[in-house]
Structure formats: C-alpha cells, structure tokens
Structure 1
Amino acid sequence: GFYQPDCGFVRNPKGLAQAYFDAAARLGAIHLRQRVDGVARRNEGGVTVHAEGVTHRFDRLVVAAGAWSASLVKQLGDKVSLDTERGYHISFGPETAGLLRGPLVLPGMSMVLSPMHDGLRLVSGDELAGLAAPPNYSRIRALIPAARRAVPALRDVSPRSEWMGFRPSTPDSLPVIGPSPQGNDVIYAFGHGHLGLTLSAITAQMVADTVAARALLVDPTPYLISRF
C-alpha cells in the first residue's frame, strides 16, 4: 500500500465551486445563465455570443465549457482534439460518510472508494461514448459486491444514487489553456480530464494574467491550442 497523509482532498466539490462563485460575486462578477447557441468573432474586434435569442458583445471571451468546448472552438476558427471520458459514481448515503478517512484506490478491483459529503462513493471507469449517448450503469453496478468486500460495513447498505459525468480529455492528457492563435480576444480553459478541480485555481490565475497582460507564473507553451 501507499499512504499519502498530506494529499489534498475535497469532500464537497460543489461546495468549493460555490465558494469560488460567491467570491467572484463579491468582487463584482455578474452571473448570467443562458444556453449558448453560437459564438463568432467580430470584424472590429471582440466576440459575439448568441444565447437564447439574445446577442451579447464582449471584448474578451473565455471558453471554459468542458467537454462542450469543441463546437465553440470550431465556430471561433480554431481546432482541437477533444473527447469526453464519461465517469460513473454510486453513492451509499450520508450514514456511510465516516467509514473512510480519505480516498481508497483499489486497482485490483478497478475502483475507488471516496468519502464525500453525501456519503461513501464508489467511482470507476472511463467510457468514450461522446455527449449524447445515454448512461450505462451496468459496469459500475457490477462492482457493488467488491465494494462490500472491501468495506464490510457496506454489506447491508443499499446504494442511494447514481451519477454520470463528462471529463473533457485531450490525446496528450494536458488541458488547453491560453489565447487563441488568432488573437487574445478569445482565451481557452478546458480539457483538464480527471484534474479539473485540482487545476482550477492555477488555470484561473493563468487566464487572469493573460487577460491583464501580466507575466505568467507557468510556461503556457505545453497547453496552447496551437499544438493541435
């Protein structure tokens, strides 16, 4: 076994994202939730965003749409190789949250057991099936007996919920961060695969420094979209 006592761990990813959101609002960010139908560069500079029948014009646009970013990239005249690794979770409910102190990786059983705010979660699998296919929970459900062998306290606990999410992934497993080759009116920030939460803060710092024309703390070259 390999024990990592100083490894960071977030029990409530949604709660952390909400804290980021609240902090941005306190600094003056305006939240507008709309379905984006299309984006385009303007001849005079800047970007136009079409959303639910409304046209918005911005000086700068950050494309951070996860697995849905590829279509926006194409509309903006760039290209990227991006797919989605669909991942599956099963939660055993709040009463199981204290059964483990941290994530437990079980390679021989092809799964991870992780204590989250809503209970112990069984996590497994990468499925390359795009954005439109319906979820297929059969493989992760088949791992429930193995989870009960690993943590006997789960033996009489029934799963409470199932979830499937989309990990935006690139062929070289590196995210896409930085300005468009056609101009810094468009900045990309997506493709983090399994490390979206882990790399969220440094990605935000790189985007902010790019917008403000400040020197970056990290060499952006490996992450530029021009590598595709």
Structure 2
Amino acid sequence: MRVDILVLGAGAVGTATALQLQRRGMQVALVDRRDPGEETSFGNAGLIERSTIEPYGFPRSLRKLARYAFNNRSDMRYDLTHLPRIAPWLARYWWHSAPGRLAASAAALRPLIAASLSTHQELAELSDAQPLFRKTGWIELTQSPAAAAEAKTSMERRRVHGVTGVLLGRDALAALEPALSPRVEGAVHWLDPWSVSDPGALVKAHAAAFVKLGGSLLRGDAATVRQENGNWRVTTEGGDVTASQVVVALGPWSGAFARRLGYRVPMAIKRGYHMHYALDDGAEIRHTILDEEGGYVLAPMARGLRLTTGAEFAPFDAPANTIQLDRAERIARRLVPSLGRRLDPAPWLGRRPCLPDMRPIIGPAPRHDGLWFSFGHAHHGLTLGPVSGLLLSQMIAGDAPMTDPTPFGIERFDS
C-alpha cells in the first residue's frame, strides 16, 4: 500500500492528527499495535481544559516542596530507587518552572488552549461524538479561607484571558453537588471547560470517522519503521505501507523512537492511576471535581465515578503501586459519603509523556526529510489533540499556521 502520510500512534493526538491531515485532502494511514484510544488516552480525567492559563510547573517554594518530602501524598509519589535516574530531568523541570520561563511556556501554549474547544467541536461533529461531551465546566474545591482567597486571585488572573469562574459558597455548592459532604466550605466553578464521559470512546469515534472518510487504520509496530530511498515504510499485519512523510505521535513511546533516530529528547514519564466506583443510595456526581488538597480528581464517566490520581515518578515498566490510589480513595470517601464499591478488577495504570519546559514537540525533524513529531503533551493530550493536529497539518500542507510553531520545535532540545 502507498499513502501520502503515515501517522504512528492512535491515541488522542495521533487520531486527531490523522483526521486533520485527511481534511486537507491527504491519503493517510493510521498505525498502532493496539486499537485506538487504549493507552494513555484511555485513562485521563476527561477534561477539555480551556481554563488552563499556565502549565503544571515544579514547586518553587520550600513550603510546597516540604509537602512532598515524606512521600506520603496522593497527588505526587516517587520511587526512591528511581530518583537518581530522573534527577537531571527534575532539575531541568525546576529550571523551566521559574516565573519568567513558565510565563513564556504559558504564552506559547495559550493559543492552543484557546482553540481547544472549537477544534474539539469540529471533530465531534465530524465523528458524531457530541453525546460524549458535557459543556458544564468543572469544580475546584476550596476547603479553607486561604484556598478561597487563592482561588479568587486565580479567577482575576484568568479572566484577562477569557476564562470565567464563579465562586461558590457552601449552599451554592450543595445545590450543584448534593452528594458532597456538607463539611466542604466552597468551590470555584470554572465554566468554560468541557468534559468527556468516555475518553477512550471519543478517540474510537474519531478513528471510526477517519476510516469512514477513506483513511486506513492498520495494526502495526512503530519499531518496524525505516527510511528507504527517500520514503518511509512500516510493516503492518496487512503488509508494508509506504509514504513520503510520517508523523510520530506515540505518546510516552515517542522519546525512545526519536532517540533511535539520533534526536535528543529529554522526556520523562509521569505515571497515573484510575479506578471507577459505584455511588450508593441513588447519589450522583454531576461535574468533574478537583480536590487539590487531597490530590485527586473525581470525574463522572459512562462506567461510573472515576477517581484519578496525580503523578508517580517510577520506572516506565515498574509494577503498579496502588498506594496513591488507596490514599486518595480514603480521602474521597470522606468527601463523598455515598462512594460505593470499586467497579474495576484492578486499577488502570497510564503514562503521561512530559518535557521539562511543559510544551509539546510539534513540528518537523531537522535531519530527516518527511519526518514530523507531535508528542509530549503531558497532562493535556486530550485537550490539545485536535488543535495540535490542526497546527501540524497546516505545517505539513504548507498553509499559514494558526499560531507560531517555533516554541514547539524539537530544536530547543536538539540544536
């Protein structure tokens, strides 16, 4: 088979990219060793995070760092034996989280964040996926006067960038979410973001639309990709496929792929877990809820109420360690008294691909003709999948890009 372009990786980023390239008239083959949406894209909190104006930086204050010193929190856990290996990356992450550098990354990301809803809407219409979306925002709990004051300041800062939020007192929060414990003092209701009731199903809907419109969805391993006579070739279950161009959108496996071709990519993996729960006594949670102090998110999903943990720094293929999930569950049961039994036979474990400056790599590979990258989206792969695909498809087609792609080039690490 011959196509115009190969897309490696059928997650939220790769599948959306394949659709965006297809919309520009290209013949595309989407290749993955698994079905669409069954790796990192399967297990997130399901937020299209329009309210983000800054990426998740490394804590810079001693007070915040001290919270993690004893390794007993649910929003972050580290494997002590893994720290020496990841320490150089953490140092770079800390350096890029300085106020000025963090502001530069935030400014670069802001046009992508701003276009996240409209690009999701376009692909949802194309793939008949609108029923998967809830356009009701999300709720950030404020469980102390200090947290409420910080939330108010955050609202003012975000309002400048077109983000709207409403402060909720105890009674207003209870009216929105009666299943929460009355001990919760208040919250901010961020109105702009959307949520998805099944992220994996959304990726599958995009993949189905891609196939319906003439794309080729193929089972194959990116490890078989090679460049031959100016073309790119990959082996699939149906035979070899050749194209003049290839996009690497392999999520947490992208760094190893790029390094195999000689590119320096300082990628680290933040592992994360989720579990679904039943709710007793007819209770329901209507919005995605962040308990920042507790270090977890509760998200209503098609399967049940999903509890997602924060970040775990541990070896890529280390066995699952459920201590974060267990800690978060204990806190969540106090927050939601009707939280019932676990619905999954085992916790799900996923891997977020993270770069130290908190920006993805989107753009061409400088030393290989026809090679393009789109990976390293960290916590926002679902949010940025369609708009990353739009930006990359514009670059590949030679169209004017919707924002300056320079801050996302791999040259910032490999020059």
- TM-score under structure 2 length normalisation: 0.51
**Where do 5+ consecutive residues of structure 2 fail to align?**
1-186
More relative contact order in 1 or in 2 (CA 8 Å, sep 6+)?
2
Match runs of 1:1-228 below 5 Å: 1-42=187-228, 44-50=229-235, 55-93=240-278, 99-154=284-339, 157-161=340-344, 162-228=347-413
| 2:251–2:375 CA contact under 8 A, matched in 1 | yes
The structure with the greater share of residues assigned to strand is 1
1:184 Cα deviation after fit: 4.7
Q: How many positions carry a matched residue from both structures?
A: 225
Q: 1:96 to 1:11 in 2, by over 3 A?
A: farther
State the SS of the aligned residue for 2:299: strand
Aligned-partner residue type, residue 18 of structure 1: K
The separation in 2 between residues aligned to 1:117 and 1:97, in whole angstroms, is: 16
Q: Does the 8 A contact of 1:37 with 1:52 survive in 2?
A: no
Structure 1 runs not aligned, ≥5 long? none
The structure-2 alpha-carbon separation of the partners of 1:38 and 1:128, relative to structure 1 and needing over 3 Å to count, comes to farther
Quote how far apart the aligned CAs of 1:125 are.
2.1
Q: Higher helix proportion, which one?
A: 2
CA distance in 2 between counterparts of 1:125 and 1:207 reads 29
Kept in 2: contact 1:97–1:117 (CA 8 A): no
Q: Distance in 2 between matches of 1:164 and 1:134?
A: 9
- In 2, distance between residues paired with 1:185 and 1:97? 55
Q: Which residue of 1 aligns with 2:29?
A: none
Structure (1 or 2) with the larger CA radius of gyration: 2
Contact map agreement 2:280 2:338 (CA 8 A) in 1: no
Alpha-carbon displacement from aligned partner over 1:141-167 (angstroms, at most 9, x marks no partner) = 12222111101111xx11112211111
2: CA distance, partners of 1:213 / 1:179: 12
Partner-residue secondary structure (3-state), 1:3: strand
1:38 deviation in Å? 3.6
- TM-score (normalised: structure 1): 0.90
Q: 1:97 to 1:211 in 2, by over 3 A?
A: farther
Percent identity, aligned pairs only? Answer: 34
Aligned to 2:180: none
- The SS at the match of 1:77 is coil
Structure 1 residue 98, shift from structure 2 partner: 6.4
**Residue equivalent to 2:3:** none
Maintained 8 Å contact 2:220/2:234: no
Cα pair distance change 1:218/1:165, threshold 3 Å: same
- Deviation, 1:59, is 0.7
